[in-house]
């Protein structure tokens, strides 16, 4: 497939209300959109990595510069016939996985559009609707937090992720579990604990959790294996797996029984599918992760979540609740009946099934490059 041209857009999408990000208050969410063209066809992607080099180490401004100055010139004007071939072309450039993921995901979207099939079908997805679950972070009081947990469970979400923070940890989980004894809950530590916290980690076995996500720092796969060996609660790796090679190492070490796979974090759909396939061979379950981003990027995670091994409800970032305006209409979760869970129905149109509104794209664009 000949890559004729690539356009890169750095956007600032307005937020409903200012948010703290890496110690600063911001009133917009920065993200990067990429359009890859071959003949009359075009594929889109989003690198939803945020304004600051915080959670992922990359940020929108850096992703834009990396794509414009290095990655896009290495790809545009060449023929790319597979995701693996694209990865080989980008291999000389270290790291920058979100920037690489933008190219990879746009290539997959372009390929699906040229074949006139939805992206989730091209990936081998087996579901037409995806169960999702929200993430709840620390609030001003435990009473307010319990009210919010009850609200999302009443709405019909299949599970709830609880963020653990210093001083907002085992006692918080105890309150939640006593209030909601049969709810599907899991906790996310974001790598903020260590083996010195093993007593606290072992206490998690008392709460019937679905998993504990990334309890140790990302680079400690051996430590994660020790934690998993000590706990009945499944360990889930997220930031700890950013390449298929790391996934293979974690699986060999038995470092986890779940993996949260985010296409941007691992360098694109090609790597995400490889990680999911490796997990399937080792009987390790997967679910699709999400980060703060626009509604275009969310479609890639949902397409990945349609695969058979991604059988735990996907992360849900409510873009419509956070963003005052977006360049595409969001896909909203719905509940078919009081007995069913909240699900997002997938689309039947080719590729990711949507293109950005040209006028909104121009309005929110703060930087653009075309090669």
Burial class of residue 171, CB neighbours in 10 A (0-12, 13-18, 19+): exposed
* pLDDT given at position 327: 97
Instruction: Give tens-digit pLDDT for 112-126.
Output: 999 999 999 999 999
The size of the chain, in residues, is 371
Q: Give the pLDDT of residue 119.
A: 98
| Residues 331-355, mean pLDDT to the nearest whole number | 95
Is the pLDDT score of 252 beyond 80? yes
The first and second tokens of residue 150, run together, are: 């009850």
Residues 278-290 have a mean pLDDT of: 97
> What is the pLDDT confidence band of residue 187, given thresholds at 50, 70 and 90?
very high
Which 3-state string (H, E, C) describes 123-167? CCCCCCEEEEECEECCCCCHHHHHHHHHHHHHHCCCCEEEECECC
Cα-based distances in Å from 71 to 41, 244, 265: 21, 20, 17
As a whole number, mean pLDDT of residues 138-162 equals 96
Position 22 scores a pLDDT of 72
* pLDDT band with cut points at 50, 70 and 90 for residue 288: very high
Domains of the chain, start order: 5-116+355-370 (3.30.390.10), 121-345 (3.20.20.120)
| The predicted structure's pLDDT at residue 290 | 93
What's the pLDDT at 205?
Answer: 97
Say yes or no to pLDDT of 21 above 90. Answer: no
Q: How far is CA 260 from the centre of its chain?
A: 8
Distance of CA 146 to the CA centre of its chain: 26
Instruction: Quickly state the pLDDT bin for 132 (edges 50, 70, 90).
Output: very high
Please tell me what DSSP assigns to residue 332.
Answer: P
Say which residues have a Cβ less than 8 Å from residue 341's Cβ, sequence separation at least 6.
Answer: 131, 156, 157, 158, 313, 335
Mean pLDDT to the nearest integer, 162-166: 93
Tokens of 219: 């680079």
Task: Output phi, psi for 338, to 5 deg.
Answer: -60, -25
Average pLDDT of the residues in 153-175: 95
pLDDT at 55 over 90: no
Beta bridge partners of 315: 133
Is residue 68 predicted with pLDDT exceeding 80? yes
pTM for this entry: 0.95
Percent of the chain whose pLDDT exceeds 90: 92
Distances in Å between the Cα of 16 and the Cα atoms of 294, 326, 328 are 13, 11, 16
At a CB cut-off of 8 Å and minimum separation 6, what does 199 contact?
none
Give the closest residue to 186 by CA, choosing from 218, 166, 157: 157
Average model confidence (pLDDT) across the chain: 96
Task: Determine the average pLDDT of the residues in 144-170.
Answer: 95
- Write out pLDDT tens, residues 305-323: 999 999 999 999 999 899 9
């Amino acid at each position: 497939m000949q890559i004729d041209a690539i356009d890169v857009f750095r956007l600032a999408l307005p937020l409903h209300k200012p948010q703290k990000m890496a110690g600063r208050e911001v009133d917009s969410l920065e993200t990067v959109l990429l359009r890859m063209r071959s003949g009359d066809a075009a594929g889109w992607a989003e690198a939803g990595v945020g304004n600051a080099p915080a959670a992922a180490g990359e940020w929108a401004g850096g992703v834009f510069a990396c794509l414009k100055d290095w990655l896009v010139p290495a790809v545009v004007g060449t023929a790319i016939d597979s995701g693996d071939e694209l990865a080989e072309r980008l291999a000389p450039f270290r790291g920058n996985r979100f920037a690489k993921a933008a190219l990879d995901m746009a290539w997959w979207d372009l390929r699906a559009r040229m074949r006139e099939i939805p992206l989730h079908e091209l990936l081998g997805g087996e579901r037409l609707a995806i169960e999702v679950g929200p993430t709840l972070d620390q609030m001003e009081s435990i009473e307010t937090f319990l009210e919010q947990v009850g609200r999302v469970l009443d709405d019909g979400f299949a599970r709830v992720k609880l963020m653990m923070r210093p001083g907002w940890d085992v006692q918080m989980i105890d309150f939640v579990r006593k209030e909601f004894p049969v709810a599907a809950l899991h906790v996310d530590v974001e790598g903020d604990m260590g083996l010195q916290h093993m007593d606290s980690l072992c206490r998690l076995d008392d709460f019937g959790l679905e998993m504990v996500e990334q309890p140790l720092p990302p680079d400690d796969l051996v430590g994660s294996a020790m934690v998993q060996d000590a706990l009945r609660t499944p360990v889930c790796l997220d930031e700890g797996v950013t390449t298929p090679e790391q996934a293979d190492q974690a699986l060999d070490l038995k470092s986890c029984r779940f993996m949260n796979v985010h296409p941007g974090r691992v360098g694109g759909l090609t790597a995400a599918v490889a990680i999911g396939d490796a997990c399937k061979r080792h009987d390790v379950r997967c679910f699709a992760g999400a980060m703060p981003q626009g509604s275009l990027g969310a479609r890639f995670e949902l397409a990945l979540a349609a695969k058979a091994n991604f059988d735990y409800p996907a992360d849900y970032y409510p873009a419509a609740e956070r963003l005052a305006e977006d360049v595409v209409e969001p896909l909203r979760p719905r509940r078919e009946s009081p007995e069913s869970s909240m699900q997002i129905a997938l689309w039947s149109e080719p590729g990711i099934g949507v293109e950005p509104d040209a006028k909104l794209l121009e309005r929110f664009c703060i930087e653009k490059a075309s090669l």
